[in-house]
Structure 1
Amino acid sequence: MTDAIAQRLRARFELLDVDGDGRLRHDDFTAAADRVAARLGLTADDPKTRTLHQAMNRFWAGLREHADADGDGTVTLAEYAAVAGDPAGFDAHVADYARAMVGVCDRDNDGVIGRQEFLDGLNALGFAPDGAALLHESLAEPDGSVPAEAWVRSIRAYYLDPADASPNLLLHG
């Protein structure tokens, strides 16, 4: 693994580690969903909030099942790195999160996400405003909107594509 790939892997892990204790737990995934919903002005009983929580729960359950090698109920960076980049794991456990994340940002359910919703969603997840703005520019249509499916594909690439050409690299400078 190159240093650049290792740095991106660590950055992804740190974003998921909401409490910053060096271990992923179910609470980190719940906190991330709560942060996104709050930033977008959604209530806890909003169907989009519930969908995001369900997707984050599946993300965590899959990660714990496949990465928690010592069975302690947490996932360390080393355990995370051992399973990162698995397309089957992404499709089984993370793809729902990607669709739910995009869905909460698609406020009017028209299949496109406005610039501010896009930025708010990424900022709530912990991405720096400058990186989020650069990624938005790379995915946006001429009218400034981001097609939902383009963002879903981008999230998939963020987790699976180590290529230096990935637009997601803009998130980390």
Structure 2
Amino acid sequence: MEHTQHTDRERLLQRRLASRFAAFDQDGDGTISREDFSTAAKRLLTEFGVTFRSDRGQALCDGAEAFWQGMAGIADVDGDQKVSHEEFLGGAVKRLHDHPERFAEIARPFLHAALAIAATPAEVERALLALGVSPVAAALSARTLPTADSGAVDEEAAVGAFARYFMTEDRDA
């Protein structure tokens, strides 16, 4: 019985990690690359009608590039400018699981810029949907984010939630 539970947990964990990898792999080519981060930024700009050349558009694209550089720095072991599923599991997940603050640090510029475009929980839900997150997960994620008095999502809470989602091995996360 215990072996079966361990095997079930391991399978669930592997599915969760595969879905986290897929969330980064925006073009579905089986790797995470700079283009995936650019694609994510373009999808958000399009969804919210923000132009690339605007301050918010530039901040989002710069944040996406910084996020890619951080991800590549920890996970692109072979230096091919792509993060394979194996590199993601062996590099990003292992290293960042031990130091989730590092993940928050590399994600922060992108998330800061994204929250300047999608500030409210309803807008965050739209953003998540634009990035390919399932409707149920997008709604639940957006609904659980704390907001400031203005109704805007609290950035620190969003960064922490993002890091926990992508780097946790908790089967219930």
What TM-score results when the alignment is normalised by the length of structure 2?
A: 0.79
C-alpha contact (below 8 Å) 2:25/2:36 kept by paired residues: yes
Number of positions where the alignment pairs a residue of Structure 1 with one of Structure 2: 157
Among candidates 136, 155, 164, match of residue 162 of structure 2: 155
Please list, as runs of the form range in 1=range in 2, the aligned pairs for 1:1-173 lying within 5 A after superposition.
2-85=10-93, 86=96, 87-106=100-119, 113-115=120-122, 117-139=123-145, 145=151, 147-149=153-155, 150-166=157-173
| Secondary structure of 2:144 counterpart | helix
Stretches (4+) displaced over 6 A: none
Task: Compute the RMSD of aligned alpha carbons.
Answer: 2.2
- Gap regions ≥5 residues in structure 1: 107-112, 167-173
Decide whether aligned partners of structure 1 residues 62 and 152 sit closer, same or farther in structure 2, where only a CA change above 3 A counts: closer
C-alpha contact (below 8 Å) 1:62/1:89 kept by paired residues: no
- Spell out, residue by residue over 1:36-94, the C-alpha distance to the aligned partner (whole angstroms, 9 max, x if none): 11101111112122111111101111221221112222110110111234125314422
Percent sequence identity over aligned pairs: 29
Amino acid at match of 1:119: E
Tell me how far 1:146 sits from its aligned partner.
5.7
- Gap regions ≥5 residues in structure 2: 1-8
- Mapped to 1, the partners of 2:19 and 2:38 lie a distance apart of 19
| Secondary structure of 1:5 counterpart | helix
Q: Which residue of 2 aligns with 1:171?
A: none
Amino acid at match of 2:135: P
- Mapped to 2, the partners of 1:156 and 1:70 lie a distance apart of 24
- Mapped to 2, the partners of 1:19 and 1:164 lie a distance apart of 26
Larger radius of gyration: 2
Tell me how far 1:34 sits from its aligned partner.
0.4
Tell me how far 1:96 sits from its aligned partner.
2.0
What TM-score results when the alignment is normalised by the length of structure 1?
A: 0.79
- Mapped to 2, the partners of 1:134 and 1:91 lie a distance apart of 20
| Secondary structure of 1:139 counterpart | coil
